[in-house]
Amino acid sequence: MAVGAVAVSCMYFVGACSAQTAATSPGGGVDAGTDAVAPRSDAGATLATSWYATGKPFADRYCRSCHGGQGPGVGDFTRYENVAALAPAMLAAVTSGRMPPGASDPACRDYANSDRRFVSAEGRASFAKWVADGTPKGEPNGEVAVAELDETIANPDLVIKAPAAYAPTYSNPNEPGNEYRCFALRPGLTSNKYITALAPVLDKRAMVHHIVAYRMAPDHLPAAGKSYPEDGWSCIDMVNAGVSVTGDPRQSDGMIVAWAPGTGAFNFPAGTGLSLKSTDVVVLQIHYFASGRVAAGTKDQTGFAFKLVDSVPTPIAIAPVGKSAFTIPAGDPAYSLTGSFGPVALPLTIYGTMPHMHVLGTGYELSVRNVDASQNCVAKADRYEFANQVTYLFKNPVVVPAGAKVDFRCTWDNSAANPNQFYTPPVAISYGERTDQEMCYAFTLIGLGN
Ligand code: HEC
């Protein structure tokens, strides 16, 4: 946390932070002279770098959705002056893996917009080279354009928004600068439908860090949400969101998706869709973030848009793959365990997944274990952040053959060194739906058949 805080304040005081870097930048040369500045050879070391051909496409691809002047990330990385000044801090954040926020490795299985969510080794090397070259600006005619990510859906059938604009108070002492707020929304459907695509409808982008959408029967709303309060209710815990896992079938009906900037809109594969009953309530758990660029007291009224159809050949169900009933030893910096689903009686297809742990979670692996013990990677990351949970929709769905199992391995850091640690000294942490307990579920989008 301390490191992040220092770097963030560095971004507010750009001049004081990396002024030297900017001052020593050759600021224009993309000629052979810049090579003399490069320390040693790595991938692409012989190529001339420039803002237009190297720095900007990198920032546009991996950072712009949050640091483009409108998102929750501080600064505006679409501007050369800013990036030239902040390049060392940006490179440090990328090299350490803090930024962009940890995502599943597409080498395990490719998913929608992975090329913007997971930094490739080549991408990192070229940005590092540009920084080592002294962040030369170069000429606009060398620009490599990265298209803006479309995060909306055209002609939605249903748009639901929080009932009133809400100003986060950021008053939870455990979450300075962050607030998890739930809003219960009534879709007002007259018949049961299937969701085939969805996307958030953002009001104040800079405040919205990420959103998890749930669907549930009205009588499953938690006490705080029963009256559909206009200003929502505080709900960092699943319990307070109204979602429950253990032995409660409503959980599998509970998840819709988790969205964050850069995720894009969600378009389920043709012929599939997620049930939304006429009686269902949609709960949005919005993670608000005090980015410093939005005045205190600013109100937001974010919602979600849906494409709906009456029926689909393959309804998608959401299976929580993982484990309850476990204890993570106090102090263990890398404790792992695996929970399994199956063996499945009939073949299934996996379309996507949303890995979920709480604040001590650091990594995960979801895989299909075949009858012959061979494994098929589904989603895998060695960085996981509670504050950046997202759903991955696979480009090529995975088939789980009859007799196979699906395994989900979770890894946690329960040491004093974990900046997200709740307890000093650390204590043994057991399964539970409160945020100071831990969970280990991949909410996996499955359909019957292959
Ligand atoms: C999904 C949104 C998102 C994306 C994508 C993203 N950031 Fe961030 N970034 C944030 C937020 C929010 C913060 C504020 C502090 C935090 O939440 O960690 C931040 C903070 C930072 C900081 C200051 C804190 C630190 O850890 O050093 C740097 C530097 C940074 N980002 C660089 C980058 C770079 C470089 C990229 C692209 C390669 C990037 N970020 C992509 C959301 C994002």
Residue 149, in any domain of the structure: no
Global model pTM greater than 0.75 = yes
Residue 260, in any domain of the structure: yes
Domain count, the chain: 3
pLDDT, one tens digit per residue, over 218-262 is 888 999 999 999 999 999 887 788 876 654 544 546 889 999 999
Cα of 99 vs centre of ligand 1, distance in Å, is 5
Residue 36 above 90 pLDDT? no
Stretch 119-142: mean pLDDT = 95
CA–CA distance, 340 with 406 (Å, rounded to integer)? 6
Residues 254 and 363 in one domain: no
| % of the chain residues with pLDDT over 90 | 75
Instruction: Look at ligand 1, atom 25, and give the residue with the nearest C-alpha.
Output: 4
- For 108, other C-beta atoms within 10 Å of its C-beta total 17
Residues 181 and 301 in one domain: yes
Residues 62 and 128 in one domain: yes
Listed residue (272, 293, 243, 259) closest to 348, CA to CA: 272
Residues 325 and 423 in one domain: yes
Per-residue pLDDT band for 427 (boundaries 50, 70, 90) equals very high
Domain ranges, residue 69: 2-142
Q: Which of 312, 337, 367 is the last residue in one of the domains?
A: 312
Would you give the DSSP letter of residue 252? G
Residue 73 CB partners (closer than 8 Å, separation 6+)? 63, 66, 67, 291
pLDDT, one tens digit per residue, over 44-103 is 445 789 999 999 999 999 999 999 988 899 889 999 999 999 999 999 999 999 999 999
Query: What is the signed CA dihedral for 150, 152, 154, 156, rounded to 10 degrees?
Result: 160
Q: Which of 81, 114, 142 is the last residue in one of the domains?
A: 142
Residues 336 and 396 in one domain: yes
| Peptide bond just before 100 cis, omega within 30 deg | yes
Which residues does ligand 1 sit against, CB inside 6 Å? Answer: 4, 7-8, 11, 62-63, 65-67, 72-74, 89-90, 93-94, 98-101, 209, 260-262, 289
Residues 267 and 367 in one domain: no
Listed residue (301, 297, 357, 295) closest to 171, CA to CA: 297
Residue 169 has what pLDDT?
96
Amino acid at 122: E
Residue 35 above 60 pLDDT? no
- For 219, other C-beta atoms within 10 Å of its C-beta total 10
Ligand 1 atom, smallest distance to 289 CA: 12
Residues 8 and 126 in one domain: yes
Residue 401, in any domain of the structure: yes
* Direct distance between the N- and C-terminal alpha carbons of the chain, in angstroms, rounded to an integer: 45
Task: Decide the pairing of beta strands 405-412 and 327-328.
Answer: unpaired
Cα of 127 vs centre of ligand 1, distance in Å, is 16
Q: 447 near 312, Cβ under 8 Å?
A: no
Residue 202 above 50 pLDDT? yes
Instruction: Look at ligand 1, atom 19, and give the residue with the nearest C-alpha.
Output: 73
- CATH number for 324: 2.60.120.230
Token reading at 249: 């079938």
Token reading at 222: 């938690």
Residues 348 and 424 in one domain: yes
Residue 11 above 60 pLDDT? no
DSSP 382-423: S---GGG---EEEEEEEEE-TT-EEEEEEEE--STT-TT--S
Ligand 1 atom, smallest distance to 91 CA: 35
Residues 391 and 280 in one domain: no
Residue 293 has what pLDDT?
82
Q: Which of 282, 312, 342 is the last residue in one of the domains?
A: 312
Within its chain, how far is the Cα of 199 from the centroid? Answer: 14
Which residues on adjacent β-strands are paired with residue 309?
A: 194
Cα of 54 vs centre of ligand 1, distance in Å, is 19
Amino acid at 448: L
CA–CA distance, 397 with 126 (Å, rounded to integer)? 32
Residues 330 and 350 in one domain: yes
Residue 169, in any domain of the structure: yes
Residues 279 and 333 in one domain: no
Per-residue pLDDT band for 154 (boundaries 50, 70, 90) equals very high
Ligand 1 atom, smallest distance to 98 CA: 26
Residues 292 and 412 in one domain: no
